[in-house]
């Protein structure tokens, strides 16, 4: 158990819809990272938050957004969903801002019908 | 190139050593990581090595780092059926790792009885 909690485990929805994925980092970790894992693109870094502020952006689409709340949990919002957004979405956390081990949750599997 | 490269498959006999290889791209990467993903599960941090080291040993795992060739390897001694999984190599790029982790496509480790 990594200590990173992601909910829900599975999500099935339709094209055009909006969903919210939730992540609670390990106790004491200030950074949260979001990644997308798909068969064609592999594991891609989306975005990082540190202590409530956005720190780094990767290959995140404009239809996607995230935030980190004062209690340090984070949410990833995906809107105007397309079939190609079907993937496994991982959250990871680390103690500080970067260049340190990231611990991953079990992921949320998103299926778009 | 810009990709972290790994072989897609490795097949070994139970009890033998497994060696999974990776080439990374950023000579300024501070940490290099190995993650394990079992079917339907999240990413488990196996081990990591700081860039000023050339070897790290942790029980059955040995990591070797050749900075000149940007080559990283993971050796698993006495491979067991429970080691069957996908192994991902990852590097931490950018200023203080601010670009998130960049992953290879993963090596499927197959254990023959």
- Taking an 8 Å cut-off on Cβ atoms, the answer to whether A45 and B44 are in contact is no
In the DSSP assignment, the letter for residue A84 is G
Measured in whole angstroms, how far is the alpha carbon of residue A67 from the centre of its chain? 10
B94 pLDDT above the threshold of 80:
no
Report residue B15's pLDDT band, with 50, 70 and 90 as the boundaries.
Answer: very high
* DSSP per-residue codes, B37-100: E-TT--EEEEEEEETT-SEEEETTEEEEEETTTTEEEEEESS--GGG-EEEEEEEE-SGGGTT-
- Residue A35's pLDDT is 97
Distance from CA of B113 to the nearest CA of A (A): 28
What number of C-beta contacts closer than 8 Å exist between A and B? 67
CB contact A50 to B (< 8 Å): no
Distance from CA of B87 to the nearest CA of A (A): 12
- Residue B51's pLDDT is 85
For Cα atoms B88, B17, B32, give the angle at the middle one, nearest 5 degrees: 30
- What percentage of residues in chain B have a pLDDT greater than 70? 93
Q: A48-86: per-residue pLDDT in tens? A: 999 999 999 998 999 999 999 999 999 999 999 999 999
- Residue B2's pLDDT is 63
Measured in whole angstroms, how far is the alpha carbon of residue A38 from the centre of its chain? 13
B109 pLDDT above the threshold of 70:
yes
Of A30-39, A90-99, B97-106, the range with the highest mean pLDDT is A30-39
Nearest CB to B41 within list A55, A92, A106: A106
Phi, psi torsion values for B80, nearest 5 degrees: -115, 165
Q: B50-85: per-residue pLDDT in tens? A: 888 899 999 999 999 999 999 999 999 999 999 999
- What percentage of residues in chain B have a pLDDT greater than 90? 72
- Residue B1's pLDDT is 46
- Quote the strand ranges of chain A, DSSP E: 5-7, 10-13, 19-24, 31-38, 42-50, 53-57, 64-68, 74-78, 87-94, 103-104, 108-112
């Amino acid at each position: 158990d990594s200590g990173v909690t992601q909910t829900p485990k599975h999500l099935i929805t339709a094209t055009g819809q909006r969903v919210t994925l939730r992540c609670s980092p390990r106790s004491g970790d200030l950074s949260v990272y979001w990644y997308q894992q798909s068969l064609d693109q592999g594991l891609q870094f989306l975005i990082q938050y540190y202590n409530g502020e956005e720190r780094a952006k990767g290959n995140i689409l404009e239809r996607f957004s995230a935030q980190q709340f004062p209690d340090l949990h984070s949410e990833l919002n995906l809107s105007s969903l397309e079939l190609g957004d079907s993937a496994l979405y991982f959250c990871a956390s680390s103690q500080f801002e970067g260049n340190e081990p990231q611990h991953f949750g079990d992921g949320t599997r998103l299926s778009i019908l | 190139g810009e990709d972290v490269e790994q072989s897609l498959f490795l097949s070994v006999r139970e009890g033998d050593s497994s060696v999974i290889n990776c080439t990374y791209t950023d000579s300024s990467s501070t940490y290099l990581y190995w993650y394990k993903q079992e079917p339907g599960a999240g990413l488990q941090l196996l081990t990591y090595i700081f860039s000023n080291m050339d070897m790290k040993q942790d029980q059955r795992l040995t990591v070797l780092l050749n900075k000149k060739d940007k080559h990283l390897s993971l050796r698993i001694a006495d491979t067991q059926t429970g080691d069957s999984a996908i192994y991902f190599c990852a590097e931490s790029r950018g200023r203080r790792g601010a670009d998130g982790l960049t992953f290879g496509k993963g090596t499927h480790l197959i254990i023959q009885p």
